[in-house]
Amino acid sequence: MKVKVSLKKEVEGKKWKVFITGFQGVGFTGYIALKHLVSSLKARPIGVIETPSLPPLVWMDGERLISPLQLYEHENFMFFIAEAIPPSKDQYGLFRSIVDWVVDGGFEEAVLIGGLDQRFKRGDDKMRCAATEAYVKARGLRVPVIEKGLLITGPLALMLHRFEVRDFPAVALLPYANMSRPDPLAAANSIALLNELYGLNVDYTELVKDAERIEQEVKEFLERREAERRAESQAYI
């Protein structure tokens, strides 16, 4: 599978230090966190990722066209937001290529934000983590690791695996989240830790205060996207 990272001309050749992403997994935690980070930091859209299996969806956000796989920057940080991802059979090729681009592109570390089913929560811990050996050696761990026997799945697992193969510092932050609905509170917990790790000052009180509204907005967006996907597929029957 040929995957291409297409950056705007004004940032070609620029180097970033930290790559951050998250996906629509447990509680949509990573997705909500990334959207809030990009919005709060006023991160600048700088490119897209192209792949033959790209989901056939685009839409407008104000005067800007949104593609399924978007890249944003803020200072030394790059954010990758996956609005939609290819089918499972095409995912490893895509995420392997993204990881290799990060490793070969001069980044220093990667942070992957996911969610962990809150039914597995024990004690007062707000989250767990999983990390590559290179990350543990370079940075240590600020939160306990995920319990033995619990599985990480999906794009986050594929990326973490490839980062380990490439001996690159990467950590997955896994705040406990609700399995049955979008969970802005879990996203807030991940942002709080990012603030500590990188000296950021991202205000996440909105995620806490307006959790019900944000949850409803995410649900409506997903329902609208699914309706558009069904309509698109029926058009070719």
Quick one: average pLDDT of 110-114?
A: 98
**Alpha helices (H) in 59-202, listed in sequence order:** 88-104, 133-139, 154-165, 184-198
Judge whether residue 224 has pLDDT over 90.
Answer: no
What pLDDT score was predicted for residue 231?
Answer: 55
Alpha-carbon span 161 to 141, nearest angstrom: 18
Judge whether residue 41 has pLDDT over 90.
Answer: yes
Alpha-carbon span 39 to 135, nearest angstrom: 28
What pLDDT score was predicted for residue 105?
Answer: 95
Q: Which residues contact 59 (CB under 8 A, 6 or more apart)?
A: 65, 66
Query: In this structure, what token pair is assigned to residue 57?
Result: 């969806």
56 with 50: CB under 8 angstroms?
Answer: no
Return mean pLDDT, the chain: 90
What pLDDT score was predicted for residue 62?
Answer: 87
Amino acid at 58: V
pTM of the model: 0.89
Quick one: average pLDDT of 188-192?
A: 96
All domains in the chain, ordered by first residue: 4-234 (3.40.50.10900)
26 with 118: CB under 8 angstroms?
Answer: no
Quick one: average pLDDT of 4-10?
A: 95
What pLDDT score was predicted for residue 215?
Answer: 67
Judge whether residue 236 has pLDDT over 50.
Answer: no
Dihedral (CA of 8, 16, 34, 162) sign? positive
What pLDDT score was predicted for residue 213?
Answer: 72
Quick one: average pLDDT of 66-84?
A: 96
Quick one: average pLDDT of 117-130?
A: 90
Quick one: average pLDDT of 197-207?
A: 92
